[in-house]
Amino acid sequence: MANNINAIQTIGGAKGNGTSYMSDSSTIFSVSGLSFEPRVIKIYSSNGGARIIYNPMVSHIADTFAFDTNNYRWHNYGGTNVQLLPNGFIATATAPNLLGSYYWEAFK
């Protein structure tokens, strides 16, 4: 039984900070330098006003949520395109107010 417990593989990952930038009318989140191709990705704006969650087991488009300060509620802005790279990812979002610094997590 001990051998079976030791054989269980845990999901590895990485996390870090970055700064988004504009390209045309989209906000770009780009991460490289990982030692793996990510499968699940979470991105959070540093001010807490936006979240992007990518899980291909649910959808091939990431869900994008931003806090609507006028109505004091979260709004789903629909899909964010995610391009997986052998050592990172590029997420392209069209939701408003996503520019600035962000925190990300990527999992194998």
Statement: the pTM of the whole predicted model exceeds 0.85: no
Residue 14 lies in a domain: no
Residue 55 lies in a domain: yes
Residue 85 lies in a domain: yes
What is the domain count for the chain? Answer: 1
Q: 90 has which bridge partners?
A: 30, 83
Each residue's pLDDT tens digit, 10-24: 467 899 999 888 888
Residue 88 lies in a domain: yes
Which residues, 6+ apart, have CB-to-CB distance to 61 below 8 Å?
78, 79, 80, 81, 82
Residue 75 lies in a domain: yes
Each residue's pLDDT tens digit, 3-55: 544 444 446 789 999 988 888 888 899 999 999 999 899 998 877 778 888 88
Domain span holding position 53 = 19-107
